[in-house]
Each structure stands twice: as C-alpha cells, then as structure tokens.
Amino acid sequence: MNCAFCENPEIKNRKITENSLAWAFLGNMPIVPGHTLIVPKRCVNKYENLTKEEKDAIENLRIKVMGALKKTFDAQGFNFAWNDEKIAGQSVPHFHLHVLPRKEGDTGIYKYEPRDFLYRSGDRGTTPEEELKKVSELIVNNI
C-alpha cells in the first residue's frame, strides 16, 4: 500500500495518544512546536470516506490533544486543517487533521488571510452581491 503513516515505524515513535479508531503523532515538518497530526487507524484517504465512529474518534482526540498542547505550549489558539487530494496539497493519501497550537509571537502564518493561507495570489475586491446570488443559485441547484 505504501502509506507513510501506516508503514513508517519512526512515526509510531512520535505517537502522543490514541483510541480504538484513531491516533495522534507529531508531524515531521512542524510549522510550530507541537504541530500534531490526527489520523484514523484505518488507511482512508478522504474525510468523507471515514465512518461516523472514526470521525467521532478523531474529534475526541482533537479535544484531548488541544488540552495537552495548551498545557505544554501555553497555546492561546489553534489552527485546524486538512488537505483533500493532491491538487489541494495532500501529500500522504491517508486523511490527517493538522492541529497547530498558536500563541503570540510564534512562527508560520500568524495573521489569517484566506487568500494568503490558500496561496491565492492577487488582490480581488468584494464580489458583487448579484454575482454571489447567481453562484449560490448554481450550488443550490446541485444540492
């Protein structure tokens, strides 16, 4: 299968916690100290392919890990993210939730600007309401 999370024994050495369906470990390219990944034990590439029980297990670990990161790093806030598919930056085809403890003066992206965060270049003003309404209608028609 060639999954870095499932087959790399070094990752197991970075385990922080686990439950019956998911586990958490430190990422090897941390944006900030404590940058944690939470993954299902079953090798699943996308969030929507997780079972409800796996989603609940990941959420339970997220809360547990947040508490530990608050105590360990005096975290004042958190970033949570996952990338879905290679085109969106998913480098390992095994779902993983990034949990980044944040505090004043840390490194990485500090100010959240969606265009910067998602690498959307250029400046674009506010989209006119008429255009937004048309796009929302297109989406509604496909729900």
CATH number at residue 14: 3.30.428.10
91, exposed or middle or buried, with CB in 10 Å at 0-12, 13-18, 19+?
exposed
Known catalytic membership, residue 96: yes
The string of DSSP letters for 85-138 reads SGGGT--SSS--EEEEEE-TT-SS--S--HHHHTT--S---PPPHHHHHHHHHH
Pairwise pLDDT comparison (26 vs 112), residue with the higher score: 26
Instruction: Return the pLDDT at 35.
Output: 87
Give the pLDDT band (50/70/90) at residue 126: low
Per-residue pLDDT tens digits for 6-17: 988 888 888 899
Domain that holds residue 44: 4-140
- Residues 70-123: pLDDT tens digits? 989 889 999 899 999 888 888 899 999 999 989 888 766 555 554 455 444 455
- Determine which helix (DSSP H) or strand (DSSP E) holds 80, and give its type and residue range: strand 77-81
Structural domains counted in the chain: 1
How far apart CA 10 and CA 2 sit, in angstroms, is 15
Average pLDDT over the chain, rounded to whole?
83
What is this structure's pTM? 0.79
- Which listed residue (35, 94, 96, 98) is catalytic? 96
Q: Which of 29, 27, 32, 10 is nearest to 96 (CA)?
A: 27
